A and B are shown apart, each in its own frame.
Chain A
Amino acid sequence: MEVYLDNSATTRCFNEVAALMTQIMCEDYGNPSSLHRKGVQAEKYVRYAKDVIARNLKVNEKEIFFTSGGTESDNLALRGCAYANCRSGRHLITTQIEHPAILRTMKHLEEEGFRVTYLPVDEKGCIRLEDLERAITGETILVSIMHTNNEVGSLQPVAQAGALIKRMNPKILFHVDAVQGYGKFRIYPKKMKIDLLSVSGHKIHGPKGVGFLYVDEKTKIMPIMFGGGQQNGIRSGTENVPGIAGMAKAIETIYSNLDEEVDELYRIKKAFVEGVRKIDDVVINGHPDETGAPHVVSVSVKGVRSEVLLHALEDKGIYVSAGSACSAHKPQPSATLRAMGISQELLGSTIRFSFSIFTTMEEINYTLQVMYDIIPMLRKYTRR
């Protein structure tokens, strides 16, 4: 049995997405900038995608910019806005539990003379609004907070944060990295006071190598790549038409039935959490219930190194992620888990299970059974 429980890393592409992309790559392969019919036909796909996304977010089509994925969207948002607004101030705010696409970009901006505040989180992996309020200064130009944490699935109070930021200073830009949250939640930037929103295609059963950045039309932003001036000059380069159309198709499919899908994910999460709790000496990190993301469960299994558990599960056809990539030579404990104050002992014993709408209850029961079988065996052989 093959059980794929690593959907926070990437997801299986929907068949209809792959079919549409094949059609575009093999038949409707024109360049949307070309003046002839073939180009117009390709442009239609891009317009279709903008239409789908704009409706889904309840925003204007011209506020959608296609990118190569979550990392580029984050880079464009942070660097594009930091450079364009640096005359108003050089202070940025983010959290300690962001994806490296945010954290490393912030580090780079620090080297370029910006000052960055990294908000701490509580033991469940959530920021506190008081901390945000205290961090904002007259110099602050941008706040970036993720919607859903990728490692433990904690949900950040983005709507409240948006309201708070705009109440304190409407000029401060608010960026949300929604790579893990989009496709699980309805996100309406205008209502939530979000100026920039990053989304990736392959986390929502779309293709890899494509994503988008929503940019509120009033936002001052400059490009970070230069070229042919496509997409209003904000993101040059021939549009990835098959990717863009494929992502839009995936969004349509997911959101056409979102409530039922999310209910099912929570049902799966609940069953899994209950099953895992039957194992001795395990800790579930973050929110094990409906206050956390529906698709992520982070489990620390005392006395078993995450890499070993990962490969033992792999041996039984179950694919998961190590919550913190550790090896004997190069320990790289996860920033998120550390920020949550997880003990050193559990840091290297943390596994992430992440579900999708393809996950079945049968797969969950099988996974639990395998864990019941192998964990006692693995605990028997540990480094003494």
Chain B
Amino acid sequence: MFTAFLIKYAEIGVKGKNKHLFEEALAQQVKYALKRCEGEFKVTRTEGRIYVHALSDFDYDEAVDNLKTVFGVSSICPVIHVEDEGFEKLSQTVVEYLEKVYEDKHISFKIQARRARKNYPMNSMEINRELGGAVLAAFPEMKVDVHHPDVMLHVEIREKIYIYSIEIPGPGGMPVGSNGKAMLLLSGGIDSPVAGYMIAKRGVKIDAVYFHAPPYTSDRAKQKVVDLAKLVSRYAGPVYLHIINFTDIQLYIYEKCPHEELTIIMRRYMMKIAEMIARDNDCLGLITGESIGQVASQTVQSLAVTNEVCTLPVFRPLIGFDKMEIVDVSEKIGTYETSILPYEDCCTIFVAKHPVTKPNLNVIKRHEQNLEEKIDELVQKALDADELVIAKWE
């Protein structure tokens, strides 16, 4: 029965002169999300709101599910819109609407009319009163409650008349593309996809880098990361995923440095490489899924040592999250099941039994000098062999 959606947004509304940029980005993302749906839609921006008009038959549940993935949307209101054919006809339409949408009529309601077209013969107060009367006449068991109604029935008089009463919460945040681009270090784990999701939610476009280590990690592990990137792209839009072969670098570090420092030195090189790729691709920051104290390489000391190699800002949206909180988000966004597939990733293959938990930057740097002979060449080789996959939700 619904023929359109009214898309409401919260945070963008308070922006200043650049508000239209945010609105334009949101409209773009809404269009992108609807491209995946059956049916044809027209997206229009009018008077501080976005309307989606269905131009053909469409699958209501599918459209709502996809609109719920658009950052910047605070709520989605399914709407019916009708021509203005006089007040009599409008009352009839409102009654029919309530008849269809609410099975149980033992509810309280309030009519909230808005007369955007000022030449309409009645003012908002009159419309509220008259429509309220018509509803009560049709459904005597319904009650008016102007303070806390169960149903707030909006009637907006514009060129056409829009009627809606349902508000489906959206994901909030800001439209992707309104806030630059950053490079996500994507592993096969639970945390990094969630980190990417959270930064994308603030309007940041996401590129990603994955380090694989054949033959120690398999093609399936790589496929898993591509799948995770696709899941993130459902919210973040197409993700350009760079796949870097890390084996030679890892083995070289293994050969030349103390074993308990392997992971932390590896992490430093991953950050370095990620930053190089980030700069080549106009990314303004790095994103990691780190959370303080989760593993040896994520103690405050370790984070400080890892962070030291970067000059771009590193965004760590999960830094204060407990594991269970991260799991909750990953379940909500649908990455959890893929994340827990049991393929080894390159961080775990040679991990020491007792890796350093309080690394000292000077000591680490001194040991990294053992790598001087070949490391630059190996890093360059890895960058040259960068394999690019465009992950898209379809």
Q: Nearest chain-A residue to B217 (Cβ)?
A: A311
In the complex, are the beta carbons of B215 and A314 less than 8 A apart?
A: yes
**How far does the Cβ of A251 sit from chain B's closest Cβ, in whole Å?**
33
Q: CB-defined interface of A230-265 with B at 8 Å, one 1/0 digit per residue?
A: 000000000000000000000000000000000000
- Counting residue pairs across A and B whose Cβ atoms lie within 8 Å, the total is 38
Taking a contact as CB atoms under 8 Å apart, the answer to whether B254 and A381 are in contact is: yes
B215 nearest CB neighbor, chain A only: A311
Cβ 8 A contact of A383, one of B214, B251, B350: B350
Q: Is the CB of A308 within 8 A of B342?
A: no
Q: Secondary structure of the B side of the interface? A: loop
**Contacts of B342 on A, CB cut-off 8 Å?**
327-330
Whether the Cβ atoms of A383 and B218 lie closer than 8 Å is: no
Judge if B349 is at the interface, Cβ distance under 8 Å: yes
| Closest B residue to A314 using CB positions | B215
Q: How far apart sit A328 and B255, CA to CA, in the bound complex (Å)?
A: 22
**B343 — which chain A residues lie within 8 A by C-beta?**
327
Interface size class of A (residues with CB under 8 A): 10 to 19
Could you say which of A311, A329, A381, A384 contacts B218, with CB atoms under 8 Å apart? A311
CA distance A350 to B343 in the complex (A): 18
Q: Mark A321-339, 1 if CB is under 8 A from B, else 0.
A: 0000001111000000000
A383 touching B215, Cβ below 8 Å: no
Complex CA–CA separation, A296 to B295 (angstroms) = 42
Contact of A328 with B254 at beta-carbon distance under 8 Å, contacts A311-B218, A315-B215 already known: no
Complex CA–CA separation, A329 to B349 (angstroms): 11
Q: Do A307 and B350 form a contact, CB below 8 Å, given A312-B215, A315-B215, A384-B259?
A: no
- The interface residues of chain A lying within 8 Å CB-to-CB of B150 are none
Which residues of chain A are within 8 angstroms of B348 by Cβ–Cβ distance?
328
Chain A, residue nearest B259 (CB) = A384
Chain A contacts of B353 at CB under 8 A? 384
B216 contacts the other chain (CB 8 A): yes
Once bound together, how far apart are the Cα atoms of A314 and B214, in whole Å?
Answer: 10
Contacts of B215 in A (CB 8 A): 308-315
Q: Which B residues between 206 and 228 are near A, CB-CB below 8 angstroms?
A: 214-218
Measured between beta carbons, the chain B residues less than 8 angstroms from A329 are: 342, 344
CA A24 to CA B369, docked complex, whole Å: 68
* Interchain CB contact (< 8 A) of B214 among A309, A315, A330, A384: A315
Show 18 residue pairs from A and B whose CB-CB distance is below 8 angstroms, ordered by the A residue.
A308-B216, A308-B349, A311-B214, A311-B216, A311-B217, A311-B218, A312-B215, A313-B215, A314-B215, A315-B215, A327-B342, A327-B343, A329-B342, A329-B344, A330-B342, A381-B255, A381-B350, A384-B353
The 9 closest A-B pairs by CB, nearest first: A311-B215, A312-B215, A330-B342, A329-B342, A327-B342, A328-B344, A328-B348, A384-B259, A311-B218
List B residues at the A interface (Cβ < 8 Å): 214-218, 251, 254-255, 259, 342-344, 348-353
8 more CB-based (< 8 A) A-B contacts, given A311-B217, A384-B350: A308-B216, A309-B215, A310-B215, A313-B215, A327-B342, A330-B342, A381-B255, A381-B350
